[in-house]
Structure 1
Amino acid sequence: MPGIKIFTGSSHPELTGLILDRLGIPPSPAVVKRFPNAETSVELGVSVRDADVFLIQSGSHSMNDHLMELLIMISSCRSASARRITAVLPYFPYNKQSKKKKARGAISAKLVANMLSVAGVDHIITLELHSSLTQGFFNKPCDNLLAQPSLAKYISDHFRSDKCIMVSKNAGGTRRVAQLADILKIDFALIHRERYHIREGNNVTEEYETKLSLVGDVNEKICLVLDDVIDGTHSFIDSCEHLKKCSAEKVYIVAVHGILSGNALKVIENCEAINGIIVTNSYPIPPEKKRMSTKLVQLDISGLLAEAIRRTHNGESMSFLFHHPL
């Protein structure tokens, strides 16, 4: 593809390598340096004057360092007279902080969107934002790709549809679950959570208990507990255990972004209520973590991202990508 330059950040070399292989072009050279005081420096190794530049950098466990690296790369390309700069962020940094949870909190996802704009980005490509409202934070075009077609293809290829049921582990995820269930033409269920404080006499302590109740029938069904992100495991595990108590045959966790902080994979491996976990490779999982689990399946979404880059460069419509697995 003439006139295109693709630079890869250091957050997820495995995924960026797969994207470049699918596009059939080598990465443009750039040198990223980390100084002893933790500052980052980026030096482009090729001219980008009047070029269509794509910068691939996903969120990672070193989120702040890699975000700063991306901002500096964008600024470097802008200073070097790039014609258009597109940031490709498979996992958008601070994705889940898309609203105020407390009166004096910040909407950090909006701050990141502003930072990208100030650095000089022209276009953002990302995957499955936590909230669709996040797209309104950008004052530049943003394509929020969906992993649903890829997840639906994997599920239909590996599970009997008449035995499956999609499950939302809380009310907030119902829309996402209903959409995937509609694509697969299967039923869905909801786990309702009711929290109440533990009282000690007339005092209410900070401790609370959660009562789970199931809306739907999972008897002898294969339950697919869906969410956009899995980071910690507490809510997933108590949901899966509750489904097993409700006579589910098997229970699988399905998520787009597998952050899996700390020993999350080990906890899932040791949980008898969970038969497997299915995520995409949008977020880097270190090899040593992958070796902890026999239950982990990673779906490759490099084809989706590579096609999005190709279509953006050629000025083609993105509509096809929202309905077809790649």
Structure 2
Amino acid sequence: MKILSGNSNRPLAEAISAELGLPLVKANIRRFADNEIFVEIRENVRGEDVFVVQSTSSPANDHLMELLIIIDALRRSSARRITAVMPYYGYARQDRKTASRTPITAKLVANLITHAGANRVLTLDLHADQIQGFFDIPLDNLYAGPVFSKHMEETLANRNLTVVSPDTGGVVRARAIAKRVDADLAIIDKRRERAGVSEVMNVIGDVKNADCILIDDIVDSAGTLCNAAVALMEQGAKSVSAYVTHGVLSGGAVARVAASPMEKLVITDSIQPTKEMRVAPNLLPLPIAPLMAEAIKRISEETSVSSLFD
């Protein structure tokens, strides 16, 4: 087994390799003067089981193209099996036609990865479970829920917890975590007028005097989370925190979170945190390297991955 890192999140790849006790494969990934990407694998990978760690985070197109070229280089170097380890699967929010003459880009990305030569994919908290069906190769979708629930048990013990889904689409995810930490469940009913803008309409459930925990898979502009936090406090919540898997946090999202009523926003390091995110007072990164490393080990040894979440 060998681990190779792209440039999207090298600290995470290094943490995974440290967990597994394996050095990263030496590779030269650079750009020509016109920004074309060039990849050269600097050691023998013939017959090897190679895992490529690369989130397709911002700049999404560059990191996606880099992943495709790495996979092609490995395939032409006679690697036995290539697994694309994508802690954050970009374009996942474009998983269906939302209007006439619009693409399903999540499916297009799946096709690109498959045709580039990947044999399987490992990812974390897909935005929509049906994306698994976009691939004609095996895909293992990990869940951050156990990591979140463990952190809650360690830091929020003896609190009156209520887990809150910020929209109706995330109820299944929130319910699973509520069950793990033995907490009540509430739901935010919101109306989205256009992409990136949300308006909180109603809180379904009793949150009075509760320590509310918002659960979501992606935080981008943070408008939904911040509006939800305000609505929960107005309904009498004692405190509001949030646990979100993928911290995209584009534009002024970090400042928006800092100015919100949220005590803290916990995100995984599936996307490499920016300097602004690292110094934010109420942003807390949570490492996922142990989870990813264990899944990689099990895939390589052909043992069960799903039993990680039993």
- Matched ranges for 1:161-200 at <5 A: 163-194=160-191
Q: CA deviation at 1:289?
A: 3.1
Name the TM-score, length of structure 1 as normaliser. Answer: 0.91
Supply the distance in 1 between the matched residues of 2:247 and 2:130 (Cα, whole angstroms): 22
Q: 1:46 to 1:290 in 2, by over 3 A?
A: same
- Matched ranges for 1:166-315 at <5 A: 166-194=163-191, 210=199, 212-271=201-260, 273-291=261-279, 293-315=280-302
Cα contact 2:200–2:231 (8 A) shared by 1: no
Aligned partner letter, 1:12:
N
- Matched ranges for 1:107-122 at <5 A: 107-122=104-119
Q: CA deviation at 1:195?
A: 6.6
Q: CA deviation at 1:196?
A: 8.2
- Structure 2 alignment gaps of length 5 or more: none
Q: 1:139 to 1:42 in 2, by over 3 A?
A: same
Cα contact 1:308–1:318 (8 A) shared by 2: yes
Aligned partner letter, 2:91:
Y
Out of 26, 37, 41, the residue aligned to residue 40 of structure 1 is 37
Q: Which one has a bigger Cα radius of gyration?
A: 1
- Structure 1 alignment gaps of length 5 or more: 198-207
Corresponding residue SS for 1:130? coil
Corresponding residue SS for 2:126? coil
- Matched ranges for 1:78-97 at <5 A: 78-97=75-94
Corresponding residue SS for 1:152? helix
Out of 1, 10, 15, the residue aligned to residue 13 of structure 1 is 10
Name the TM-score, length of structure 2 as normaliser. Answer: 0.95
Q: CA deviation at 1:193?
A: 2.2
Q: 1:226 to 1:78 in 2, by over 3 A?
A: same
Aligned partner letter, 1:167:
V
Q: CA deviation at 1:286?
A: 1.4
Supply the distance in 2 between the matched residues of 1:209 and 1:136 (Cα, whole angstroms): 29
Cα contact 2:198–2:223 (8 A) shared by 1: no
Supply the distance in 1 between the matched residues of 2:248 and 2:4 (Cα, whole angstroms): 24
Deviations 1:253-300 (A, max 9, x none): 2101111112211121122x2111011111111124321x11111111
Q: Which runs of 4+ in 1 moved over 3 A?
A: 194-197, 208-211
Cα contact 1:161–1:184 (8 A) shared by 2: no
1:26 aligned partner: 23
Q: Superposition RMSD on alpha carbons, in Å?
A: 1.7
Supply the distance in 2 between the matched residues of 1:268 and 1:34 (Cα, whole angstroms): 35
Aligned partner letter, 1:309:
I
